[in-house]
Structure 1
Amino acid sequence: MIGYGFSEAGGPEVIDAIELPTPQPGPREIQIKTEAIGLNNRDRIARQMGGSGLTVPGYDVAGIVSAVGSRVTQFSKGDRVIARTTSAYAEIVTAAADMSVLLPAAITAETGVALITPGVTGYRMVELGKIKAGDTVIVKGASGGVGSAAIQLAVERGASVIGIAASRHETEVNRLGVEHFVAYDRGNPVDELRQTVDVVINAAMNGLGGDDDVEMAKDGGLIVSVSHTEPLLSRGVRFVHTRPLGGSEVGRALQTLVNLMAQGKLTVQVGYVLPFTREGFIKGHQLLDDPRHEGRIVIKVSE
C-alpha cells in the first residue's frame, strides 16, 4: 500500500510516497481503509525535527472498517469510523478500538476527521476547567480549531462565554454562541476584562499571554492553557496545563463530540481539502508552516 512520510528533517518537500506493508489489527484494534486524514501541528513539528529513519506521521483518520481484531465487539467490517491513531498518512491504518467511534452517515469523512484533534483538546480543556452552568469563561484563540470547540462545549454546558480573537474573526466567533467578543487587535483585552471570569481557557498559539490570563481571572479563578509555562500567579488564581488524552479517554471524548455534531450543536471549520498525493501533503505542510492559514487541513483519499 501507499503511504507518505520522510526520512530526514526539513521543509515540506522532504515528504515523499512510500511503499508500506499493510498493517494487521491486533486483538483490540481495527483496520481502517482511509477516506480522510487530518493534518495537525504535531505533524509539522515531527517533520521539522526529523527522526531516526523513516517516519510516517499523522494521528487523525476517518474511513471504513476493513477488519477487526479478535477481541473487538463494538465494530464490524463496513462501519464508518473516525479514530485517533499513529502513522495515519497511509491508505490503510490500524487503530485501537477504544480510540475509535462510529461516524453517523450525516457527517462527512472530511468533517469528522477535522474534528478529532481540536475537538478532543477543546473537550479536555473544558473538562479540566470543570465548567458548569452559570460560569463565566474566557476563551482565547477563539477562532482556532481548539478555541472554537471549547466555546461550543462550554456554551452547551450553560456557561457564559467571552471569545477573544482578531477583529476579522468577530462574525464567525459570534456564531459559535459567545455572549461577548473582544478583539485583541483593538486594544488590550485586560482593560475590559480585568478580574471578570471564573475560568480562562487559553487556546492561543503556544498559550501566549499568561500574565494577562491571571489579570482576567477572578480571585480564586482557574487558567487552563496549552502553555507549558506557568505565569506568576496571585489572588489565589490557579493554573493547569492541558495534556493530551490517551486510550479510552479519547474514545469517550470523541463520542461526546460526534453526538453533539450529529445534533447540530458542534461545528468545525474545514479550510482545505487536498488530494492524497505527494503534492497534496506538501501543500498541506506548507499551510501548516503558515500561521495565517485558517480552518482545518484535510487530505481526501479518492476511490
Structure 2
Amino acid sequence: MSAVLTKGHGGFEMLEFRNDINVPEPNSNQVLVKVLAAGVNNTDINTRTAWYSKSVTGQTDSKDFQGNDIDGGWAGVPLNFPIIQGADCYGEIVAVGVGVNSERIGERVLVRTMQQYAVEYRPYECWTMGSECDGAFAEFMVAFSEESFKIESDWSAAELASIPCAYSTAENLLERSNVMAGEVVLITGASGGVGSAAIQLAKRRGASVVAIASKSKAVAVKEIGADEVINREDRLISSLEKESIDVVIDLVAGSDWADLLDVLKRGGRYAAAGAIAGPIVELDIRTLYLKDLTLMGCTVQDSQVFKNLIGYIERNEIKPLVSRTYPLKDIVSAQKDFLAKKYVGKLVLLP
C-alpha cells in the first residue's frame, strides 16, 4: 500500500512517501480500515519536530526545530520510529480480527484519535493515533473496534475526516470547562482547526463567542459564528473589559498569556490544549487565587466526547470547514500550508 513513513524527529526530510508498505492485519478486537481521507493537525507536526520535548520553548511554526528524542512525543517518552502518522481517519472497515463481528465489514467509520481501549480505559492515559500506534497517512490502517465509530452522513470523505482530532479537542475543552448557555467564551487561535471547531461547538451550547484571529481572517471567523472578533495583533486588555469573560479556550499561550487571566471574571475557567505561540508563560499567582480562577489542561478525553460528535454530525448540528485537499503524496505541501496559516479551518489528505 501507499503510506507516508515518519523516519524520526526532524524536518520535512523525515517524511517519506512509499508504495511498498505491507497492508497491516487486524489483531484480536481490531478492524482494518481503508482510509478514505485523513486530516492534517498540529499534533502530527509537533510529534515529527519533537516540539513536545521540554527542551523546546518556541512557537510551533518555528523553522523545523528539533527537540530531544527522549521526550519528543506528546506522552513524554521515546517513540519507536518509523511510524505512520495521521491523527484523523475517516474510512471503511474492510476486514476484522478475532472477536469482532464480521457484520462490521462495510461500515463507514470515524476513528477516535485519543484511544483508551489500549490502556483499559485508565484515567488520563491513552494512545494517540500516529504516535503510540500507526495512523491514517496510509491507504489502510488498523484500529480497535471499540474506537471505530459507525457514522451515517452525507458529508464528503474530506469533510468527515476533518472532525476527529480538532473537533474532539474542542469539545473536550468545552466539556471540561463546563461551558453553558448564556456564558461568554473567549477562543484564541480561532481560525485554525480546533479554534474554528470550538466556535461552532460553543455556539451550539448557547454561549456567546469572542474570537481572536488575524485581521485578514476576521470575516471568515465571523461567518463561522463568532459574535466578536479581536485582531490578534492588538492587546487583549485594550479590546476587552477586565473580568468580562466566563471561559477562556486557549490554543495559543505565548508572551501575552497573562492578559487572558485578566479578562476572566472572578470564578472564571481557563482551559488549554495548545501553545502555538510558545509554551512558556508568566503567571502572577495572585491573579489565580485572588480571582478564584480554575486553570485546566485538556488532553485525554472521556469517551462521551467522541460519541457527542457522532450525534452532532448525524443531526447536522455542526458543519465541516474544509479549506483544501491534497493527495497523500503531497503531505509536505499540506503541512507547509498548515504552518503558514494560509487557510481557515482544515486541510485534508486523500490517499
TM-score (norm 1): 0.86
Deviation at 1:2, TM superposition (A): 2.6
Per the alignment, residue 345 of structure 2 pairs with 295
Structure 2 contact 236–260 (Cα < 8 Å) conserved:
no
CA change 1:98–1:295 in 2 (3 A) is same
Deviation at 1:282, TM superposition (A): 2.2
**Secondary structure at the residue paired with 1:258?**
helix
Structure 1 contact 23–94 (Cα < 8 Å) conserved:
yes
**Secondary structure at the residue paired with 1:44?**
helix
For the pair 1:55 / 2:101, whether they are aligned, the reply is no
For the pair 1:121 / 2:169, whether they are aligned, the reply is yes
CA change 1:222–1:38 in 2 (3 A) is same
Distance in 2 between the 1:99 and 1:155 partners? 27
For the pair 1:263 / 2:263, whether they are aligned, the reply is no
Q: Could you report, residue by residue, the CA deviation over 1:101-125 in whole angstroms, capped at 9, with x for unpaired residues? A: 2232401111111111110100110
For the pair 1:66 / 2:94, whether they are aligned, the reply is yes
Structure 2 contact 90–160 (Cα < 8 Å) conserved:
yes
For the pair 1:24 / 2:25, whether they are aligned, the reply is yes
User: Counterparts in 2 of 1:177-216, with a 5 A limit?
Assistant: 177-185=225-233, 187-191=234-238, 192-204=240-252, 206=253, 209-216=256-263
Q: Could you report, residue by residue, the CA deviation over 1:233-289 in whole angstroms, capped at 9, with x for unpaired residues? A: 2411221112143xxx35x32332232233332123222211132xx1222232244
**Secondary structure at the residue paired with 1:60?**
coil
Deviation at 1:72, TM superposition (A): 3.2
CA change 1:82–1:74 in 2 (3 A) is farther
Deviation at 1:58, TM superposition (A): 1.6
Distance in 2 between the 1:162 and 1:53 partners? 41
Distance in 2 between the 1:253 and 1:74 partners? 27
TM-score (norm 2): 0.75
Deviation at 1:229, TM superposition (A): 5.8
Deviation at 1:294, TM superposition (A): 4.1
Deviation at 1:38, TM superposition (A): 1.4
Per the alignment, residue 253 of structure 1 pairs with 305
Q: Could you report, residue by residue, the CA deviation over 1:180-237 in whole angstroms, capped at 9, with x for unpaired residues? A: 332233x322222311021111123x56632011101001111112256673324112
Residue type matched to 1:243 in 2? T
Deviation at 1:136, TM superposition (A): 1.8
Choose 69-78 or 161-170, whichever is displaced more.
Answer: 69-78
For the pair 1:219 / 2:270, whether they are aligned, the reply is no
Q: Could you report, residue by residue, the CA deviation over 1:24-54 in whole angstroms, capped at 9, with x for unpaired residues? A: 2233221101111112222223333476542
Distance in 2 between the 1:125 and 1:34 partners? 27
User: Counterparts in 2 of 1:129-144, with a 5 A limit?
Assistant: 129-144=177-192
Distance in 1 between the 2:348 and 2:177 partners? 29
Residue type matched to 2:206 in 1? G
More strand by share: 1
CA change 1:29–1:53 in 2 (3 A) is closer
Choose 129-138 or 252-261, whichever is displaced more.
Answer: 252-261
Choose 64-73 or 114-123, whichever is displaced more.
Answer: 64-73
Structure 1 contact 284–297 (Cα < 8 Å) conserved:
yes
For the pair 1:239 / 2:240, whether they are aligned, the reply is no
Distance in 2 between the 1:65 and 1:12 partners? 31
For the pair 1:283 / 2:333, whether they are aligned, the reply is yes
**Secondary structure at the residue paired with 2:95?**
strand
CA change 1:13–1:132 in 2 (3 A) is same
Distance in 1 between the 2:204 and 2:254 partners? 24
Deviation at 1:130, TM superposition (A): 0.5
Per the alignment, residue 7 of structure 2 pairs with 7
Distance in 2 between the 1:262 and 1:32 partners? 21
**Secondary structure at the residue paired with 1:193?**
coil
**Secondary structure at the residue paired with 2:326?**
strand
Q: How many aligned residue pairs are there?
A: 293
Deviation at 1:81, TM superposition (A): 1.1
Deviation at 1:75, TM superposition (A): 6.3
Note the residue ranges of structure 2 that are not aligned, 5 or more in a row.
Answer: 51-68, 70-78, 114-128
Distance in 1 between the 2:340 and 2:219 partners? 23
Structure 1 contact 145–268 (Cα < 8 Å) conserved:
no
For the pair 1:167 / 2:207, whether they are aligned, the reply is no
Per the alignment, residue 272 of structure 1 pairs with 324
Structure 1 contact 132–157 (Cα < 8 Å) conserved:
yes
CA change 1:198–1:8 in 2 (3 A) is closer
Note the residue ranges of structure 1 that are not aligned, 5 or more in a row.
Answer: none
CA change 1:229–1:65 in 2 (3 A) is same
